[in-house]
Chain A
């Protein structure tokens, strides 16, 4: 995690190995960028009632971020618009110098989580067109995520089917803080459609489920919210496994984005132990929870856990599987993991290739 306060002299890209970045956040300069694909009724909604999420303020979060837009201070484009809103600047600051050969776009704040389900669906649909027009159509290294109004399963499934097969998109995107645990049946149409389209389901930390970020109420601080995304993702993954989503949709692949990964082994051991004891409750599971996780789940790496000594992370990655991690920077956010310094460990060439690019190419089906 690097809090960047000024641009650094980036070495020439040619000297660096190509990497994949599993978590890039494109932003729009103004909401008008969505208007070509947004009916007048929803443009009026934006101008009138505005965007309402399951959170208290008209603008901004109840846990103020550590920096404006939770972004690197050096990531403001020359035109002064929001960090991540300018392709040319993103290319110059991140994609080129870090030799990003494959970048997965995860647009946040683009409509997912809106309380009005029709408004949410309309914004997601517009955001999908916008990704092609502003990003993937202009830089072939970038792949989009199909945004879906995930609290409304059938509508979300229809949006997936609309884009299935379109090479601009590499995955379907949900946010981790769902209204109910992710394995709940109301979400199954999404999983069915994603599996059918052979697209991985990306679940990015954050969201607007309306539940406290802990199971014991709202904490006080932003650091607790940030740390808490790991617990949210663990609960969501537990639900996916125990409710039988992977048993029901064997082709479904899940990518957990921006919640770290070192928690995965302990969670899998606990799931296995508890499942063995309480097996009578879940006859729909034909394998141990850890086996479903091993076969169906990938993790993006940022924010990468930093044990001291760092070598402990090698045990953890070994337990998860070297074929399961997808390097990610979280550009342009403040807790950006720099590919040059993120994993200061001696790795074999195979491990390094898999970690920094190979696994992402396989999961996202990019040559």
Chain B
């Protein structure tokens, strides 16, 4: 099966840390010893149970160990199969879940160094997000500054559920650093589980947990807009990753209606939330939580009222679609082109030089 739209930029793939042991060479002596002496377990988050069907597509699942841990398979299955010219690695190893900010910062740093050595150095089509531990904003900013020197890092990665809503002023130094260094802020599905994963408590089933990720994205969008993050950092791009996007129109209708009624509470928000989202927020394509029929899906795209919002993603190795059917049927070619290439380039300024280089070589 060939993919009908090669040459795209895949904005959400998940190379996996094969085991905690793989990070040991990237930890300093103190933390290496802690891991061994304390018999630490893997930091794989319960957001993606190892053997749940959603976590790894059957044909992308190795006989042993986590899917996405093997470079050759990622090259073949995530890059070659879709003809992607580049892909952005969002590593989901659960450092954001730890309660010790020292330990979390040490592991975040190790992941970024591991990512640069084991993946970026070995496959020129790969780019990556800087994993930070927002448990300490100060250390997170240090890590952003440290990694930003490497142009292959194009984004800062946060989880959609943490300790506080992400619009809170507490987190603003992270946005200042990202804006200053030309990095997008990527907010990915997943929880630190420092709060219950729904606003009414802990659900019984994993199905509810995964469905509720979309609700958390809605809450974060509300927070980022209402706190005025985009007034303060107008050049900042926030990318919602593995968020679903079909909820966006209805959420903006509601938020914009309340903004009309309650803007006296947040007078710094001087544009309608729907306008702010169109200029500063982007969403990855997968999963497409869409209606079953093509006509309804097209109407839903019409409700988005912009062709600039969506960024191509496969969400590899998560099982969101079969074969290479990453793009919903029936979208106009011009929109597909924007989703595949133009929108990612406009969102991630750090991707452009590499693309120019590829083009020159081709010419």
Contact = CB atoms under 8 A, between A and B. Distances in A.
A180 B202 contact: yes
Contacts of B250: 260, 262-263, 265-266, 305, 316
Q: How large is the interface on A (under 10, 10 to 19, 20 to 34, 35 or more residues)?
A: 35 or more
A83 B88 CA distance: 55
Contacts of B223: 214, 216, 219-220, 224
Contacts of B215: 215, 231, 234-235
A16 interface: no
A351 interface: no
B255 interface: yes
Contact of B291 (A177, A178, A265): A265
Interface residues of B, number: 71
B212 A66 contact: no
Contact of A282 (B195, B205, B265, B302): B205
A183 B198 CA distance: 13
B255 A227 contact: yes
A214 B200 contact: no
A243 B209 CA distance: 12
Best-buried of B197, B253, B302 by chain A (most CB within 10 Å) = B253
Contacts of A278: 52-54, 205-207, 210
Contact of A230 (B194, B254, B265): B254
A66 B262 contact: yes
Contact of A266 (B161, B261, B289): B289
A179 interface: yes
A277 B253 contact: no
Contact of A260 (B165, B254, B291): B254
Contacts of A262: 249-250, 253-254
B227 A215 contact: no
B219 interface: yes
Given A181-B208, A266-B247, A277-B53, A223 B226 contact: yes
Question: Which of A231, A242, A243 has the most B CB atoms < 10 Å from its CB?
Answer: A231
A303 B165 CA distance: 24
A332 interface: no
Interface in B243-291: 244, 246-247, 249-251, 253-262, 264-266, 287, 289-291
B299 A242 contact: no
Contacts of B249: 262, 307, 312
B199 interface: yes
A213 interface: yes
6 contacts: A215-B195, A217-B163, A223-B262, A243-B205, A312-B249, A334-B261
> Which 4 pairs across A and B sit closest by C-beta, in order of nearness?
A262-B250, A214-B219, A305-B253, A235-B198
Given A216-B191, A303-B257, 9 more contacts: A66-B264, A178-B201, A214-B220, A224-B219, A230-B251, A238-B208, A262-B249, A307-B303, A312-B249
